[in-house]
Chains A and B, each alone.
Chain A
């Protein structure tokens, strides 16, 4: 079979583009793919050079079968994004051996675009986007190359044209990106990216949160509209634990309770508590004076459904896939498998909005029948001492932590059976979960409804973007108790023991506690060098903006954005703006492309000549462009005898400058002077005439 010869000037671009398009997948994919693809491309190079024959049909069929088997072996399936891309890459490589006609080269290149797009399933950083753009230039340049059959062409011109075209396409792409309506996924896709679950889990035993603090990984970033709350107010609630089995606190609900009593997802009906909450929210939103925080969170993939918000959160904009939970939290429907952005407003004063029905009161009072007797006694004693005043009692317990020799440490000793008793009376060294757990136990023991809240506390302010970075080491646990008339009130016993942990932030605290290596990782070392700190903050800001505006530009941010600019958002309006925008962007490009008959380059002397002609035109002396200078001067002299000498002087000077062998450097200035003199003459004669 005759092999289609890719033009030599396009071949390198084609092979390079194919290799680079597949390269990110080669890093991730199975080892056999890593070897196969370069081999296939090498074979293609050899075929092009005539060193190797095009493989026959049998060879290709065997190769294809091998690829399918390999994929099955590696992924256990040929479906799904990972196995699918693996298969796609391999097929892409095989296609290079099948270029019999120009059409096959086309198909290969379009497959290349497709392969390139799948890069984004695994990499989403700005650098990845830049990489994809560069490879796109290469693929487009190959496309230019195969459309240019003559052999004399140069790869460099293809590259230049492709770059120009892609750069011209960028503004239009941005317009489409901003305006094309985001619609809901058409069918559900399970995308399981690999990686461990991070952050909090749905239960907590002593020593588990402190393990998290060893990680410097980013949990989420938050950007506030308006002032950023002070460090002591930054309690990011992720989940509540109401069930205590004597050692472990877990997230649970009373058996037999219907789901809508706990969580409501949009479009899935409603429940009385939810309506009540919504009504109070609406009432609160109408009073301008009510304290409120408005912010946007961009959360890293955690493979868990919990979203992190300040107390009493409400989703802003379309809340697709985000549920409102009875205990003032938000959860996502399904786990967060990739970076997820959401906009929230929090009303701290709505903590009593839902009320406390009997079943919930009972649930938040439940303690195991036995265990921790000393703590129960202490609780009863202190409660009685405060005369049954719940708030005073809670403060008394905090004072107990403060006054007795309790220590806040990252490395607490291990506890035995009666965890609360051992901690409260024997070891007295613990991390936040010890304190929160002990506090909640004491409350319940005294008959005060209480629960543990887990999430993050604090956050590091990036002054460049004025946003907070919350890391895993900000993980925290604290408690909430029900006070009639106030609702659920937050109490953080850790603050009683180590107030600087709350007020100055975990970062400073860790700086003291952690070893040098973690110190470095946490960025504490950076913060000491102002230049490095600024650099780090700028990079962080760039990443955050990228996440917020590019990766996290979803239906709600689109709506918010469009409402800001279009006021009334209707499909017609969006369509109209899209149309006008497209025309507005394409028109300059069209003019540039179609009317690029650039004027001839002119020297200063030639511009001076143009200036003279313009001046003559203003004086209504028409001079044909084809007239040589001397004829011009005679025409002017006839039209305006008063200016005869002036124009002759100018023309003779011009002739010297433009045509004589030794033009002098001052000629241009002299010409300008002479032209001014001429203008004066022309004007005077126009006035007198």
Chain B
């Protein structure tokens, strides 16, 4: 109980001190610094040398212990400097399925005169990434973020830490980059494809999608040539997808449709649809997607898959921070 209270107090203090922003510079206010265990060990050695110097009345040993102490103090400044001045900018995001990891991009920018070496960045719950930025350079890192739920997962505070140059001290900052990562619904396998055949077989897209380099220069093709009709009813009845109709991608498309799923909770519906997006993608079957209020025109390929999954992930979410 007490620790939970402390933690929320700490979090509120952090929020006041370092509010969320999509671009931030590491300044004095934002950097914390403490010795590492190794730094403590180093100072213990320096202390024991001091005692040795006293006991053997050996001024040089004492001087060496003072030099180690001074080096430690100078290292505070250098470690601090290694973080200070770094500019971080929130970048793109790479969504993933809920329950797995997504990734967020951070762009690090160093000033003209200053390098930032050996930085470790991590979002809570994920493995850190190491990066160094040379003076005047811009570097981007992708940090993985655990996606606990479908929809936008707020990433929390990114921890940026460095022990460079001597490893005696750890300087770090916890920045809220105002980033969120989209979690797609976790795919749920199902036998029945929630799809209806496209009655509307003619459209603006048809011609375009069929086009490929082979057609260049052959004017004989006429836009709107109908492909053969598919027996959608049989398919919708659940007789499986191994029909020869799917062999030719140019021949038709399916509409994955929310309303075709029997009454079940939202997440399950989205999960089924996601599974079918993947399944159709794997079978090279063109598909469109209909959710209440939105619609994705039929197509095939990585872009379509991404758009469809995004749409599922975003369903019912307030649009926020989804710049990508």
Binding site for B on A (CB under 8 A): 81, 103, 106-107, 110, 113-114, 116-118, 120-121, 124, 128-129, 132, 136, 140, 143-144, 146-150, 161, 165-166, 168-173, 176-177, 180, 182-187, 189, 191, 338, 550-554, 582, 586, 589-590, 593-594, 596-598, 600
Q: Is the CB of B55 within 8 A of A177?
A: no
- The interface bits of chain B over 46-84 (1 if a CB of A lies within 8 angstroms of the residue's CB, else 0) are 001101101111111111111111110111011011001
B60 lies within 8 A of A597 (CB): no
Interface residues of B in 102-155 (CB under 8 A from A): 111-114, 117-118, 130, 132
Is A146 touching B63 in the complex (CB atoms < 8 A)?
no
In the bound assembly, the distance between CA atoms of A140 and B164 in angstroms comes to: 12
Question: When the two chains form their complex, are residues B52 and A161 in contact, meaning their CB atoms are under 8 A apart?
Answer: no
Q: A120–B71 contact, CB under 8 A?
A: no
Q: In the complex, are the beta carbons of A551 and B59 less than 8 A apart?
A: yes
B85 CB, nearest partner CB in chain A, Å: 8
Residue of chain A at shortest CB distance from B164: A147
Check A189 against B77 for contact (C-beta < 8 Å).
no
In the complex, besides A172-B69, A550-B59, 10 extra interface pairs with C-beta distance below 8 angstroms are A103-B38, A118-B61, A143-B165, A147-B167, A165-B74, A170-B70, A173-B67, A185-B55, A185-B56, A550-B63
* Distance A166 CA – B67 CA, assembled complex (angstroms): 8
**CA–CA, A177 and B52, complex, Å:** 15
By the criterion CB–CB under 8 Å, are A554 and B80 in contact?
Answer: no
Asked if B165 and A144 make an inter-chain contact with CB atoms under 8 angstroms apart, the answer reads yes
Q: Which of B54, B55, B62, B113 contacts A597 (CB 8 A)?
A: B113
Closest approach, in angstroms, between the C-beta of A525 and any C-beta of chain B?
Answer: 33
CB interface residues, B 196-240, toward A, < 8 Å? none
Residues of A within 8 A of B167 (CB): 106, 143, 146-147
Closest-by-CB residue of B relative to A596 is: B113
Of the candidates A173, A550, A586, the one having the most CB atoms from chain B within 10 angstroms of its own CB is A173
The smallest C-beta distance from A439 to any residue of chain B, in angstroms, reads 40
Q: Inside 8 A of B57's CB, which chain A residues have their CB?
A: 185, 338, 554
Kindly state whether residue B41 has any CB partner on chain A within 8 Å.
yes
The residue in chain A whose Cβ has the minimal distance to the Cβ of B41 is A110
**B163 at interface by CB-CB < 8 Å:** yes
A170 to B60, CA, bound (A): 13
Residues of chain A lying within 8 A (CB to CB) of residue B70: 169-173, 176
Asked if B166 is at the interface of the complex by the 8 Å CB criterion, the answer is: yes
B45 at the interface (CB under 8 A from A): yes
Q: What are 8 pairs between A and B in contact, CB < 8 Å?
A: A140-B166, A143-B166, A144-B165, A169-B74, A182-B54, A185-B55, A553-B59, A554-B59
- A114, A128, A150, A554: which contacts B49 (Cβ < 8 A)? A114
Closest to B130 in A: A149
Interface of B with A (CB < 8 Å)? 38, 41-42, 45, 48-49, 51-52, 54-71, 73-75, 77-78, 80-81, 84, 111-114, 117-118, 130, 132, 163-167
B45 touches A148 (CB 8 A): no
Give Cα A106–Cα B80 distance, bound, in whole angstroms. Answer: 20
Asked whether A144 and B84 contact (CB < 8 A) given A182-B54, A186-B51, the answer is: no
- What are the 9 closest A-B residue pairs judged by CB atoms, nearest first? A169-B70, A172-B70, A120-B60, A176-B66, A593-B77, A173-B67, A173-B66, A169-B71, A173-B70
Query: Across the interface, do A140 and B71 meet the contact criterion of CB distance under 8 Å?
Result: yes
Q: Report the bound CA distance from A689 to B130 in whole Å.
A: 64
Query: Within the complex, which residue of B66, B67, B117 is in contact with A148, where a contact is CB–CB below 8 Å?
Result: B117
How near does chain A come to B221, taking the closest CB pair, in angstroms?
54
Asked whether B45 lies within 8 Å of A147 as measured between CB atoms, the reply is no
Determine the chain B residues whose CB is within 8 A of the CB of A593 once the complex forms.
77-78, 80-81
Shortest B255–chain A CB gap in Å is 51
Across the two chains, which residue of chain A brings its CB closest to B132?
Answer: A150
B64, A165: Cβ atoms under 8 Å? no
**Which residue on B lies nearest to A105, using beta carbons?**
B167
Closest-CB distance, B322 to chain A (whole angstroms) = 33
Q: For A586, what are the chain B residues with a Cβ–Cβ distance below 8 Å?
A: 73-74, 77
B165 touches A136 (CB 8 A): no
Question: Judging by beta carbons under 8 Å apart, are B166 and A147 in contact?
Answer: yes
The smallest C-beta distance from A629 to any residue of chain B, in angstroms, reads: 24
